[in-house]
């Protein structure tokens, strides 16, 4: 090996990193259709209602679905919301939208009306694919001209124009996230970003066409969508789609379908470790964890109980995957490993914030030039808002976050949103939201409340107050009543002093 690139550890023996072009295929749809033309009868995706569908089925069904979307008036660059339980139908709708050049806006189905209204107002979508009848009503009120359909795309058949014509720089997806601060913003991921994000883990994790993934993650976040689904289709491998997670469902599917891969958030691994069937994980070739920290202790317990050396990796909505433990070398608990193929990483002097560059890094926030400018430093490095430290031999440890964020069960909760919603409660004078460490959930959303004189709000009351305002995973699970919040001279709550 002639190179000293930090990502070199991820390439298989004999590969020359400098000769690998992650964007060779230009876009995911172009790469996928190339795979589908070979061995069209190979099973690719399974769900409980369709059974197995093949590469050829996907090629035909996504072309037909793209025709329907085109017939409904959707054109390149139009935004389309996708929010439904994981299913083959949803995948067909997603792939069809990308093949047509639409910009997919995946949205968490637990969102309430106000959260959905923000995204509709910001992304200005022309269509939505949803499976929740309540959302159909809300969308009709929020945007009466919008085409709203179920994942079966019950629209008239029509021929699509030529498909898969995108450039790597064309926008493909808006991933809503609050970034380091402020309101949820759409991170614009290009076709090149999506391709690089999936290609880097295909190489690093030795993902092969023979692999089969059990995919129990939702398809509206990067972990399930940008890694699990996109990687499966890029590799020409296969996946079993489960609608929701339980250790039993995952292990049953693994046994029934000869699964080789599992990707999950740490909460899923905690529950697997508690299962008396945990040893069954040993039949898998590779178990990957991410989206939140996996403790070194859980890493060790899984190795002891199941002989599984879980491979932890680190990513973000804005960048897809960034850093991963190596497949062939030591998978070190408590660390996230080395920059993935194509990713450059450094720590900012003094603050130790993780800064990154690479073909996977997003193009900016949708229609928010100022937020975009703030997100990158003067040399074009993206500021992740995560704080890191490097072991002597280069493994990255995430040491905390500069950004205000609570991660519960792999889902992000931005304190500001919950604080703003609670501040209007009559019993609340002042409030701060932060995370409390928890073995199962990683962090529990916790409220520190200064009550209005003479009142003592209860946790249940606060939770019901938030019903309809924000998704239930954002509701506080713990409540502390305090006389005042620790504020600095500028009036900002010093969250590290909350206890
Ligand atoms: C569900 N609930 C949660 C929750 N998930 N509460 C807090 N945090 C969560 N993450 C609520 C339920 O609505 C229910 O509320 C109650 O908690 C108990 O539910 P449960 O049955 O125990 O939960 P379950 O449905 O099993 O869900 C847990 C989970 C799920 C871990 C399987 O949260 C999940 O799929 N998480 C993965 C999210 C994900 O994909 N993250 C990746 C983001 S991408 P009630 O009120 O009804 O009792 C990213 C980038 C990267 O971060 O690097 O990957
Ligand atoms: P999201 O904005 O939902 O994409 O969440 C991205 C954030 O999740 C990152 O900025 C990290 O703070 C966190 N994250 C993802 N993977 C890991 C990991 N393996 N360990 C610790 N934090 C992680």
Q: Which ligand minimizes its atom distance to the CA of 245?
A: 1
Beta bridge pairs of residue 264? 289
Q: Which atom of ligand 1 is the closest one to the Cα of 264?
A: 37
pTM, two decimal places:
0.96
Instruction: Assess whether the C-beta atom of 316 lies below 6 angstroms from ligand 1.
Output: yes
Q: What rounded mean pLDDT belongs to the chain?
A: 96
Mutation test residue for ligand 1: of 178, 224, 314, 473, the one with most atoms within 8 Å of CB: 473
**Which residue would you say has higher pLDDT here, 179 or 28?**
28
CA distances from 384 to 112, 290, 387, 405, 490 (A): 27, 16, 8, 12, 25
Contact 447, 480 (CB under 8 A): yes
**What percent of the chain is predicted at pLDDT more than 90?**
94
Q: Which ligand minimizes its atom distance to the CA of 435?
A: 1
Distance 18 CA to ligand 1 centre (A): 40
Mutation test residue for ligand 2: of 193, 292, 318, 396, the one with most atoms within 8 Å of CB: 292
**Does pLDDT of 242 surpass 80?**
yes
pLDDT tens digit sequence for 373-419: 999 999 999 999 999 999 999 999 999 998 889 999 999 999 999 99
Residue 410 CA, chain-centre distance (Å), reads 9
Instruction: Assess whether the C-beta atom of 384 lies below 6 angstroms from ligand 2.
Output: yes
**Does pLDDT of 248 surpass 90?**
yes
Instruction: Assess whether the C-beta atom of 290 lies below 6 angstroms from ligand 2.
Output: yes
Mean pLDDT across 247-262: 98
**Does pLDDT of 105 surpass 90?**
yes
Q: Which atom of ligand 1 is the closest one to the Cα of 410?
A: 41
Q: Which atom of ligand 2 is the closest one to the Cα of 177?
A: 2
**What percent of the chain is predicted at pLDDT more than 70?**
99
Contact 383, 179 (CB under 8 A): no
Distance 224 CA to ligand 1 centre (A): 13
CA distances from 438 to 245, 406, 409 (A): 19, 12, 10
Q: Closest Cα to residue 405, out of 433, 424, 382?
A: 433
Mutation test residue for ligand 1: of 340, 411, 440, 464, the one with most atoms within 8 Å of CB: 411
State phi, psi for 448 to the nearest 5 degrees. -105, 115
Distance 49 CA to ligand 1 centre (A): 23
Q: Which atom of ligand 1 is the closest one to the Cα of 409?
A: 10
Q: Which ligand minimizes its atom distance to the CA of 354?
A: 2
Instruction: Assess whether the C-beta atom of 217 lies below 6 angstroms from ligand 1.
Output: yes
Instruction: Label residues 187-222 b or e (16+ Cβ within 10 Å = b).
Output: bbbbbbbbbbbbbbbbbbbebeeebbbbbbbbbbbb
Residue identifier of the C-alpha nearest atom 33 of ligand 1: 409
Q: Closest Cα to residue 317, out of 240, 221, 401?
A: 221
Residue identifier of the C-alpha nearest atom 22 of ligand 2: 292
CA distances from 170 to 27, 102, 438, 475 (A): 9, 10, 41, 37
pLDDT at position 379 is 95
Residue identifier of the C-alpha nearest atom 39 of ligand 1: 410
Q: Which atom of ligand 1 is the closest one to the Cα of 313?
A: 53
pLDDT tens digit sequence for 56-100: 999 999 999 999 999 999 999 999 999 999 999 999 999 999 999
Mean pLDDT across 411-434: 95
Distance 41 CA to ligand 2 centre (A): 37
Q: Closest Cα to residue 218, out of 311, 87, 92?
A: 87
| Rg value, the chain, Cα | 22
**Does pLDDT of 2 surpass 70?**
no
pLDDT at position 179 is 76
Instruction: Assess whether the C-beta atom of 230 lies below 6 angstroms from ligand 1.
Output: no
Residue identifier of the C-alpha nearest atom 23 of ligand 2: 292
Angstrom distance (rounded) from CA 336 to CA 285: 19
Residue written as token pair 């002097």:
349
Residue identifier of the C-alpha nearest atom 10 of ligand 2: 316
Mean pLDDT across 259-275: 98
pLDDT at position 357 is 98
Q: Closest Cα to residue 154, out of 71, 58, 60, 254?
A: 71
Q: Closest Cα to residue 442, out of 285, 264, 275?
A: 264
Q: Closest Cα to residue 62, out of 95, 39, 36?
A: 95
pLDDT tens digit sequence for 208-235: 999 999 999 999 999 999 999 999 999 9
Instruction: Assess whether the C-beta atom of 80 lies below 6 angstroms from ligand 1.
Output: no
pLDDT tens digit sequence for 291-350: 999 999 999 999 999 999 999 999 999 999 999 999 999 999 999 999 999 999 999 999
pLDDT at position 290 is 98
pLDDT at position 181 is 73
């Amino acid at each position: 090996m002639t190179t000293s690139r930090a990502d070199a550890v991820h390439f298989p023996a004999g590969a020359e990193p400098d000769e690998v072009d992650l964007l060779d295929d230009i876009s995911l749809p172009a790469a996928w259709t190339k795979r589908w033309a070979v061995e069209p009868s190979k099973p690719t995706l399974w769900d409980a209602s369709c059974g197995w569908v093949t590469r050829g089925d996907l090629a035909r069904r996504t072309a037909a679905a793209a025709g329907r979307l085109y017939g409904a008036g959707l054109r390149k660059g139009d935004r389309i919301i996708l929010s439904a339980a994981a299913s083959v139908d949803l995948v067909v709708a997603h792939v069809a939208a990308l093949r047509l050049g639409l910009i997919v806006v995946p949205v968490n189905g637990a969102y309430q009306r106000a959260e959905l209204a923000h995204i509709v107002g910001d992304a200005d979508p022309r269509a939505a694919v949803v499976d929740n009848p309540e959302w159909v009503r809300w969308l009709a009120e929020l945007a009466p001209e919008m085409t709203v359909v179920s994942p079966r795309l019950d629209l008239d058949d029509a021929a699509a124009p030529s498909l898969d014509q995108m450039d790597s720089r064309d926008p493909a997806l808006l991933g809503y996230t609050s970034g380091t601060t402020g309101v949820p913003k759409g991170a614009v991921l290009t076709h090149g970003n999506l391709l690089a994000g999936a290609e880097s883990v295909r190489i690093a994790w030795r993902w092969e066409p023979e692999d089969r993934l059990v995919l129990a993650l939702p398809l509206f976040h990067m972990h399930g969508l940008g890694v699990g689904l996109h990687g499966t289709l890029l590799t020409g491998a296969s996946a079993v789609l489960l609608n929701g997670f339980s250790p039993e469902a995952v292990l049953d599917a693994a046994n029934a379908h000869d699964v080789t891969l599992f990707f999950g958030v740490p909460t899923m691994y905690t529950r697997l470790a508690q299962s008396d069937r945990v040893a069954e994980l040993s039949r898998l070739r590779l178990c990957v964890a991410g989206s939140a920290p996996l403790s070194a202790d859980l890493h060790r317990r899984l190795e002891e109980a199941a002989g599984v050396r879980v491979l932890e990796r680190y990513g973000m909505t804005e960048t897809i995957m960034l850093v991963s433990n190596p497949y062939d070398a030591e998978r070190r608990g408590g660390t996230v490993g080395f920059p993935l193929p194509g990713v450059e990483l450094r720590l900012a002097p003094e603050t130790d914030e993780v800064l990154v560059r690479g073909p996977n890094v997003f193009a900016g926030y949708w229609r928010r030039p100022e937020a975009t400018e703030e997100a990158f430093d003067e040399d074009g490095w993206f500021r992740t808002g995560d704080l890191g430290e490097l072991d002597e031999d280069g493994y990255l440890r995430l040491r905390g976050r500069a950004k205000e964020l609570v991660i519960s069960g792999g889902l992000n909760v931005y304190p500001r949103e919950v604080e703003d919603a609670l501040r209007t409660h009559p019993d609340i004078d002042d409030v701060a939201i932060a995370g409390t460490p928890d073995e199962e959930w990683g962090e529990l959303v916790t409220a520190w409340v200064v009550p209005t004189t003479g009142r003592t709000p209860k946790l249940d009351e606060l939770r019901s107050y938030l019903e309809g305002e924000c998704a239930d995973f954002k509701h506080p699970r713990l409540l502390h009543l305090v006389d005042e919040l620790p504020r600095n001279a500028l009036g900002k709550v010093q969250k590290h002093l909350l206890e």
